[in-house]
Amino acid sequence: MFRKILIANRGEIACRVIRTARRLGVATVAVYSDADAGARHVALADEAVRIGPAPVRESYLRAETIIEAARATGAEAVHPGYGFLSENAEFAEALAAAGLSFIGPPASAIRAMGLKGAAKALMQEARVPVVPGYHGDNQDADFLLGEAERIGWPVLIKAVAGGGGKGMRRVDKAADFKAALAGAQREGANAFGNDRVLLEKYLIKPRHIEIQVFADSQGNAVHLFERDCSVQRRHQKVLEEAPAPGMPADMRRAMGEAAVNAAKAIGYVGAGTVEFIADVSDGLKPDRFYFMEMNTRLQVEHPVTEMITGQDLVEWQLRVAAGAPLPLRQADLRIDGHAVEARIYAEDPNRNFLPSVGKLHRLRPPVEGPHVRVDTGVREGDSVTPFYDPMIAKLIVWDVDRGAALRRMGQALAEYQIAGVTTNTAFLIALAGHPAFAAGDLDTGFIERFHADLIPPREGADATALALAALAVVLQRRREVPVAASDPWSPWAQVNGWRLNDQGYDELLFRDGERDITLRLDYLADGAIQMHGPQGSSLRAEGALCADGSLEAVLDERRLKLGIARLGADIVLLRPGSVQKLTLVDPRAAGDLDEAGGGALTAPMPGKVVQVLVAEGAMVEKGQALMVLEAMKMEHTIAAPGRGKVAKLHFNAGDQVGEGATLIALEMES
C-alpha cells in the first residue's frame, strides 16, 4: 500500500478519497486554486499545495504543476478523482515518467476509450453491441448532415471527447442540424479542447444503464452490477440507483459480461464504468442494449454501488494501483438491498436549471447513519463560485428494497436545509416521490415528460409563511434592541408598537416575487403577535429564535420548528421539503428594489460571452437567440423577451461578465 498520495482534484471527490485513505493509514496531499484556499478538502488533507488561480486551465488542469507538487511532498501516487485530468492519457504517462503511480488505468486504455468514435469501432470488434451512427473522421457539416439523414431523425450529436452532457445536442429535423452542430463543436472545444463530433441514432425511449467494472494487473476482471442513471437533465444525471429497477437476471448477466469483455479488450486496470443505452420501448430485453462509452475513472455515482455491495471502491482503487489483485471474485459479489443517490445542486429548476452562485449561509444536511450518507466538499459559510461545478453534495440512501429507499430519500431531502443559493431539493423531492418514478416507468426523457409535475410554477407565500416571517422579524428586533438597564419599562426600550392608551400594532411590507404584501401585526399582552394578512387571514404567533439558527413557533395551536436565515433584507424559511424567501421592504427605500425597466437583458450569472448572434440596429422577434453565455462549463442562450430593436450591445464575444450585468439594450415594441 502507498504511504502518501496526492489527490489531483477538489470538492466532494477529494474529500471522499481522503476519507478512505485516512482509514487505511495513507497520508494525503490536497491541491487547491486561489478560489479553494479555504475549502473543505484542503482542511481535511494532511498537506495542501497551491497550484494557481481559480480558472481550471490555470490550476486543476496544469499537469506539470500537480506533478511537481507530488514530487515536492513525497507522494508516491496520484488519485485523479473524476473530471479534470482523470481521463488524460498524457497526464498518466507524465506521472509514470516522473516515477509516480497513477491510481487509474493505463494510458493505452484511456486513449482507447477517450475518443468515442474509435471506442465504438473497437467495441464492435469485441462484439459489444453499439448504437447505429457515424463515428468517422469526416467533420464537414454537409457530410455530417447527409449521415444524419441516413441514420434517420432524431439524431444525437456528441463531442468525441465529451462527457457529462457537454458537447451534446439532440436534433429532430434537418433545418436545425447545422446550428446544433456548431453549438456542440464549440462546447466540445471549450470543455475538452476537441471540437470533433460523432452522430448516433437517438432512441425515443431509452434507459441509461451502466456497469461498474474493476480489473487488476494480473488479468482478473469483475463487474459490480449495474446502476440506472436514466433520470437526467441537460444529459447530466440527477438521480442514480442500484440495482436498476426491473432488471431481468438474464439481462444483468449479459450486460455484465459485455462490460467485462469491453474492459479486457483494452487491457483495463482499475475502476471503470461501461455505459449502455437500453431501448425499453418493449421493456428491458437482453438483446436491446448498446454500448455508449466507457468512463475510465471512478464515477460520481459510485456510492450506490458501494451501498449495495458493501465494498469501498476507493480502497479497491488504491490496492489495485499498488499492484494487489482484486479483493473478490465475481462469484463472491452480491447485491444487498437498494440504494439511491441524489445530486444536490445550486441551480434553479424553474429557470431551466440555471446554476446559482453565492454563500452557503445555512447548510444543514440530514443526520448520517447506516441508511443515509452525505458526500460533500462544502461546509456552512463556504461559497458556490462560478469557476466550478455547482454540486453541493451527493445524498445517498440505502434500504432493504426500492420502495423503502425512495421513502427514505424523500425524508432525507426534506431534512436538508440550504440557504444562500437556490437549490434543486424541492425538485428532487417531487422526482423521488413521483408515482411514475416509483413504478419504475423510466427513460432519459422522464423529466421532460413530467415537467409540469416536477417543476410547477412557484407558489406565493401562504398565511403560515407570512406569519413565520413576521414572527422572525419581531423576534430579531427584540434580540437586537438593548433594554435600558435603568428603565426597562421605557417605551423607547420596547419593540411592541407601543402607543399611548392603545394596543401596540405595526405594519410590515414583504415582497414575495413580484407581489407586495402588507401585514398588520397586533402586539398582544402575553408577548405574542396577531398577524392579519391578505384575504382576511389571521394567525396568532409566538416563539423563540434558537441558538442553532432555527425558529420554534406556535401558530394558533400548531407547533413548528424550522430553519431560518436572514440574508440582508431577505428572510429565508426552510420548512421540510420547501424553501420560501420573502424580502422585508423599507417603504422609504422601496425604489431600490425595483428592477431595471425597459428592454435591458442582464446576465443571469457570472460567465463569458461566447457568441453574439445579432447586430446593433437589428429587429428581433420574441424568443430569438441573441447571445450565448458560458458559465460553469455550460452554455446559456439569452433570448429576446418580445419583438423589438437591438439598441446597444454592451459586450462582445470573449468578454467576461458579472451577474446582473446589462448585456443588451432593446427598444421594445408596444
Rounded to whole angstroms, how far apart are CA atoms 21 and 30? 12
Burial tier of 611 (Cβ tally within 10 Å: 0-12, 13-18, 19+): middle
Count other C-beta atoms under 10 Å from residue 318's C-beta. 23
Q: Which of 280, 277, 236 is nearest to 258 (CA)?
A: 277
Q: Is the dihedral of CA 10, 12, 17, 23 positive or negative?
A: positive
In angstroms, what CA-CA distances link 103 with 2, 20, 80, 432, 552? 11, 14, 7, 34, 49
Q: Which of 589, 586, 584, 547 is nearest to 569 (CA)?
A: 584
Numbers of helices and strands, H then E, in the chain: 17, 39
Rounded to whole angstroms, how far apart are CA atoms 268 and 215? 6
Residue spans of beta strands (DSSP E) within 433-474: none
In angstroms, what CA-CA distances link 517 with 470, 472, 475, 537? 11, 16, 20, 12
Give the Cα-Cα-Cα angle 338, 394, 159 (nearest 5 degrees).
Answer: 100
**Grid coordinates standing for 133?**
451512427
Report phi then psi at 577, rounded to 5. 85, 5
Rounded to whole angstroms, how far apart are CA atoms 313 and 213? 10
In a 3-state reduction of DSSP, which class is residue 258?
A: helix
DSSP state of 36: G
Residue 47 bridge partners (DSSP): 29
**Grid coordinates standing for 582?**
420573502
**Cα 661 to the chain's mean position, in Å?**
24
Q: Which residues are catalytic?
A: 297
Report phi then psi at 78, rounded to 5. -125, 125
Residues near 386 by Cβ (< 8 Å), separated by ≥ 6? Answer: 355, 357, 605, 606, 607, 631, 632
Rounded to whole angstroms, how far apart are CA atoms 632 and 650? 22
Is residue 417 within 8 Å of 338, Cβ to Cβ?
Answer: no
Residues near 353 by Cβ (< 8 Å), separated by ≥ 6? Answer: 233, 234, 345, 347, 424
In a 3-state reduction of DSSP, which class is residue 254?
A: helix
Rounded to whole angstroms, how far apart are CA atoms 645 and 598? 12
DSSP letter for each residue of 149-203: HHH-SSEEEEEEEEETTEEEEEE-SGGGHHHHHHHHHHHHHHHHS---EEEEEPP
In angstroms, what CA-CA distances link 109 with 7, 137, 165? 21, 20, 22
**Grid coordinates standing for 510?**
414583504
Length of the chain: 670
Rounded to whole angstroms, how far apart are CA atoms 74 and 76? 6
Give the Cα-Cα-Cα angle 103, 106, 107 (nearest 5 degrees).
Answer: 110
Is residue 53 within 8 Å of 32, Cβ to Cβ?
Answer: no
Rounded to whole angstroms, how far apart are CA atoms 642 and 618? 13
In a 3-state reduction of DSSP, which class is residue 117?
A: helix
